[in-house]
Amino acid sequence: MTDDSALRREMVDVCRRMNSSGINQGNAGNLSVRSSDGFLITPSSLPYETMTPEDIVEMGFDGTYVGRRPSSEWRFHRDILRERQEIEVVLHCHSLYATTLACHHKTIPSFHYMTGVAGGTTIRCAGYATFGTQALSDNALVALKDRLACLLGQHGQISLGKTMEAALWLANEVETLSRMYVQALSLGEPPVLSDEEMARVIEQMRKMSYGQAPDPEGTNDLARPRDAAV
């Protein structure tokens, strides 16, 4: 059996940082990470302050589990990890501004270039469905098509990553963008960047390994480490 203790410890740490960074609170939120033969997921309704690595639940893609009762949202974690082979981590939280927009079923448009960190010109809002249901998972997968994040109608947000660090970073970015958008809306609907400009932004992010678009071959052609060979 593979030793997953390091992954479990990191999950506890990331969950606590979800709360301390202000993007989650109370019993909300959940986190999953792909493992050798399925995925690890946070247990349901256990406050992160008291959660230990041993409380993390091991699940298979067939829905069977070992340990405590898994997060009520195991279906969307399972379905995302099954459908999106490039993704290793699924993070869900009820951050305030993202949820504020989700309560109005608003999609985040390209009002700010950073919308591109989720991989496209918008961050969509998934249609509402009861928490813990297959319908919610189905809606989330549609909203996440070609994206690394989405809002969940009258619920919260989901951010994806290749690493826990990247998923946590993205969830904070989605929350910051949501806050900016809510504030921008107070002056009226803001103008948006064109699809052509957003394509340039996304390419620039890729080239510069900006945020969650790491490309080991990518370089910023104006900057290089001082001791690099010329």
Task: Please report, as ranges, the residues that interact with ligand 13P according to CB under 6 A.
Answer: 27-30, 42, 44-45, 71-73, 92, 131
* Minimum CB distance to ligand 13P smaller for 80 or for 202: 80
Three-class DSSP category at 227: coil
Smallest gap from Cβ 73 to ligand 13P, in A, equals 5
Q: Which is nearer to ligand 13P, 29 or 120 (CB)?
A: 29
Distance CA 59, CA 54 (A): 14
Structure tokens at 93: 């939280």
Compute the distance between CA of residue 147 and CA of residue 172 in angstroms, rounded to an integer. 16
Question: Which among 148, 176, 144 has a CA at the least distance from the CA of 162?
Answer: 148
* Min dist. Cβ of residue 177 to ligand 13P (A): 20
The first and second tokens of residue 103, run together, are: 């309560």
Q: How far is the CB of 57 from ligand 13P (least distance, A)?
A: 10
Q: Which is nearer to ligand 13P, 154 or 163 (CB)?
A: 154
Q: Nearer Cβ to ligand 13P, position 41 or 198?
A: 41
Smallest distance, Å, CB 181 to ligand 13P?
A: 22
Structure tokens at 84: 């999106």
| Token pair belonging to 192 | 């948006």
Name which of 58 and 73 has its Cβ closer to ligand 13P: 73
Residues acting as catalytic residues: 73
The SS3 of residue 146 is coil
23: left (phi over 0), alpha (psi -120 to 50) or beta: alpha
> Cβ 165 to ligand 13P, closest distance in Å?
21
- How is 61-121 classified by DSSP, letter by letter? TTS-EESSPB-TTHHHHHHHHHH-TT--EEEEE--HHHHHHHHTTPPB-SSSGGGGGGTSS
